[in-house]
A and B are shown apart, each in its own frame.
Chain A
Amino acid sequence: MLLEQFINGMTLGSIYAIVALGFTLVFGVLGIINMAHGEIFMVGAFVGVMTTGVLGWPLWLAFVASIVVTSILGYLLETFTLRPLRGKRGVSHLAPLISTIGVSILLENLSHHLFGAGNKPFRTEFAEMSIEIGSLTIYIVQIVIFVISIILMIGLSIWLSKTKAGKALRATAENLETASILGVDTKKIITLTVIIASAMGGIAGILVGMAFNSVSPQMGLAIGLKGLAIIILGGMGNVKGAMVGGLILGLSETFLVAYGDSGYRDAIAFIMIIVILLLRPQGIFGSKIAEGR
C-alpha cells in the first residue's frame, strides 16, 4: 500500500536526517568527517536499551540518559582527539579523520566487550500499538519517531537562525578567523558543536532502536556510512541538505524494499553517492564553488 510505505519511508528518513545533521554540523565547523559519529550513535542506542530494558526507566528518561552520555562522549572526542591536532604545524589535515576512526574502533570494541556481539531487542511500552485508519495501519512508534525527529529538525533550524550561539556557530563554520575577530570564542563554539552533534546521534540511536527493535555494536558503521552518503547527497556542511537528503534516502530504501529487491536496500545510499558525484558533485544544496578552507 503506497501511503503506508510513504509513512514508513518518512519515518526512516527522518531518523537518517538526524544522523546526517550530526555529520553535517561537525563538517561545517571543522571541515572533517567525524567517523566516530556512527559509534556515538550506537552508544546512544545501547544507553536506551540498558535504561529501558534493564533498569526499567521510562522512555523519556532513556532519552535524557542517552543525550547526557553522548554529549560527554562528544566533549571527550573534541577535547582529547580533535583539539590537540588542530592548528599545529606539520599535522596532516587527515590526522583528525584518522583520529575519529580510532575512536570509532574503540567504541565498537568496547560495546562488544560490554554487551556482546549479538542483537539486543529494544522494547518500548507501545511497540505493538497501532492505529488503523481505514485499511491504513500506523504504528505509534512511527508517530513518536517522526514527531521527535521533526521537532529536533525545526528546533535546530530555529536555533541556528535566531539565537546568538546559533549565529556564532554559522559564522565559525563559514570562517573561523572571521568569527574570532568578531569576538566569538571559537574553541567554545567548536566544542558546543561536537556536543550537539553527538547528542543528536544519541537521540537518533534510540529512535533507530525503537524503529527496528534491535541494537548491536555493529550498527554504528552501517548508519555512519549512510549518514555520510546523505551529506554528500545534500551538500557537505549543509543543514537543509542533510534533512532533505535523509528523507530522500529513507523513502527510496523503503520503496525499494516494498516494490523491488530488498537485497539492494543498503546499496541505494551508495548508488546515490555515485550518481550525485557524477551529476552534481557539490550535492543538491551545496554551492558550486568549494569552500576555501
Chain B
Amino acid sequence: MLKLTNVQTFYGQIQALKGIDLEVPEGQIITLLGANGAGKSTTMKTIAGLLKPKKGSIEFLGENVTGLRPDQLLRKGIALVPEGRAILSSMTVLENLEMGAYHRKDKGVKEDIENVMQRFPILFERQTQLAGTLSGGQQQMLAIARALLSKPKLLLLDEPSMGLAPLIVSEIFAIIKEIKETGTTVLLVEQNAKQALKIADFGYVMETGKIIIEGKSADLLTDSRIVEAYLGRKSTKVQEEVQDEGISASKQV
C-alpha cells in the first residue's frame, strides 16, 4: 500500500533521514521503533507531506506521491495524528471533529461524527467545550477520532501513548487494534516498544536516520538486540510473557 524507497529528508543542512526503505502492506499494523532523535517523526512527517524528501520516492496505492502537499495526501487517504496531538485548542471539540471531515463532501459526515461520539462518550459530553480544556488522554482520543473522520486508508500515529497513564495507554492500544479491524491500515510510531510490537504485524527499528532492524513483530519481540535496547528485559522473560499474553489474547477472541 505504502512504499518508501531510499527516502532522504533534510532540515537545512542536517540530514535527518539517510535513505529509508519501508513498506506498509494493506490491512496491517506496522510499527516504527527507535530511540529519541532517531528520525521516526521525520519519517511520519515526510510521508504525510509536511516535509519534502530531497531524494527517494514515496509510493501510495501504486501511485507516486512524492512531494505532494499534506492536504493532497489526505485526499488520497493518508491521515496523520502527529506527535503531541495537534489539537485545535481554540476550537470546540465538535469543531475539531468537523475539521477532521473537512475534505469530505458526502452526506455521511454528520452520522460519522455521531458514531465517533458514541465510541468516545467523553467527546460527546464535552462537544461544546474548547478542545484545549480536555485532558491529555482525552485530547489523544480526539486527535485519533478526528483523523478517522477523514476516512483514511492509511492512518499514521506518532507516539499516541506519549505522556499518558498506563490505563489510558492500554485503551489507546485497544483502539488501534479496533482501527485495524475496521480495515484501516496503521503505521505506528512508539516508544512503548513492547506494547507496539504486540499489536503490530511487522516492525522496523530506526537509529540515527536509518532502518537498522526489520522483521515480524513476534521475531522482534525476542530479538536480543531489541530486547536489550528497547524492551529492557532479559529475552527469556519476555518470551514467556509473550506466550502468556498470546494465550490470554486468543482466549479473549
Whether A278 sits at the interface, judged by CB under 8 Å, is no
Q: Are B91 and A182 in contact (CB under 8 A)?
A: no
With a cutoff of 8 Å between Cβ atoms, the chain B residues found around residue A168 in the complex are 99, 102
Q: Which residue from chain A places its CB closest to the CB of B143 in the assembled complex?
A: A178
CB atoms of A185 and B69 under 8 A apart: yes
Which of B71, B89, B146, B150 has the most A CB atoms < 10 Å from its CB? B71
Whether, in the assembled complex, B74 has its beta carbon less than 8 Å from a beta carbon of chain A, the answer is: yes
State whether the Cβ of A186 lies closer than 8 Å to any Cβ in chain B.
yes
Q: Is A4 an interface residue (CB 8 A)?
A: no
A182 near B102 with CB under 8 A, answer yes
Q: Is A183 an interface residue (CB 8 A)?
A: yes
* CA of A179 to CA of B75, assembled, Å: 13
Q: Does the CB pair B146–A182 fall under 8 Å? A: yes
**Bound state CA distance, A171 and B99, in angstroms?**
8
Inter-chain CA distance A175–B70, complex, in Å, is 14
Classify chain B's interface size: 20 to 34
- B50 with A183: CB separation less than 8 A: no
Q: In the complex, what's the smallest C-beta–C-beta distance from B92 to chain A, in angstroms?
A: 10
Contact residues in A for B150 (Cβ distance below 8 Å): 182-183
**With A174-B88, A186-B71 in contact, is A181–B50 under 8 Å at CB?**
yes
List chain B residues, Cβ under 8 A from A171: 88, 91, 99
Known: A89-B12, A175-B86, A177-B86. A167 touches B99 (CB 8 A): yes
Select from chain B the residue with minimum beta-carbon distance to A291: B90
**Does B102 lie within 8 Å of A164, measured CB to CB?**
yes
Docked-complex contact B50 and A180, CB < 8 angstroms: yes
In the complex, the answer to whether A185 meets B90 with C-beta atoms within 8 Å is: no
- Closest residue of chain B to A177 (Cβ to Cβ) is B50
Note all chain A residues with C-beta closer than 8 A to B53.
Answer: none
Report how far A89 CA is from B50 CA in the complex, Å.
15
A155: min CB distance to chain B, Å:
19
Scan B70-83; emit 1 where CB is below 8 A from any A CB, else 0.
Answer: 11001100011010
Docked-complex contact B80 and A181, CB < 8 angstroms: yes
Complex contacts, A179 vs chain B, CB 8 Å: 99
Interface string of B30-46 (1 = CB under 8 A from A): 00000000000000000
A177-B82, A180-B50, A182-B99 are known contacts; what are 5 more A-B pairs with Cβ within 8 Å?
Answer: A89-B12, A167-B91, A168-B102, A171-B99, A180-B49
Counting from the closest, the 4 A-B pairs by CB-CB distance are: A183-B103, A180-B70, A183-B74, A178-B86
